[in-house]
Structure formats: C-alpha cells, structure tokens
C-alpha cells in the first residue's frame, strides 16, 4: 500500500488487524507478517508527526516506542 495515492496508513492498519482477527477466529492462532521497505519509501516521513498520530489513534505505547526506535539512526542490510 505504501506511497500509493488514496492509500492511508489507517487503511493498511485496519486491513492488517482484520486479517489477524480472522486468523485468530479460526482457532489456529497463527499469523505471520513480513514487511519490507527496501528503498526509502518512508524517508520523507516526519517521525514526530507519525508518533503523535499513533498516540492519537490509541496505538499501544509499546508499538509507538518500537516505531520510534526503528526510525532512529537505523540502517539495514538485506541479503537474499
């Protein structure tokens, strides 16, 4: 969904949460998620604003702290 017109973070989160609940409701209790941001799709995101929006949306603080840690001086090496 990233960087596509008319696709909001909220839409992606709603879809993700819905899928997780659907898996949980089956009784199998397993959900797997793999997210990749290979080439700077979010390098223009204002981290302070993003964190404020997450708090306003009542996202659990452990997730807000994880996002903050992830966005701070982070580099990644991907080997496939």
- Tokens 């604003």, residue located: 49
Reported as a single tens digit per residue, the pLDDT across 30-54 is 777 776 665 565 667 788 898 999 9
Of 67, 72, 61, 65, the C-alpha closest to 9 is: 67
Alpha-carbon span 67 to 51, nearest angstrom: 8
CB of 17 closer than 8 Å to CB of 58: no
Highest mean pLDDT among 2-6, 8-12, 30-34, 60-64: 60-64
Alpha-carbon span 25 to 51, nearest angstrom: 30
User: How confident is the model at residue 7, as a pLDDT?
Assistant: 67
Q: How far apart are the first and last CA of the chain?
A: 22
């Amino acid at each position: 969904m990233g960087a596509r017109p008319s696709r909001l973070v909220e839409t992606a989160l709603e879809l993700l949460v819905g899928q997780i609940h659907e898996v949980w409701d089956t009784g199998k209790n397993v959900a797997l998620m793999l997210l990749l941001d290979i080439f700077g799709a979010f390098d223009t995101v204002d981290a302070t604003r993003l964190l404020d929006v997450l708090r306003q949306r009542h996202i659990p603080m452990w997730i807000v702290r994880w996002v903050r840690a992830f966005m701070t001086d982070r580099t990644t090496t991907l080997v496939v």
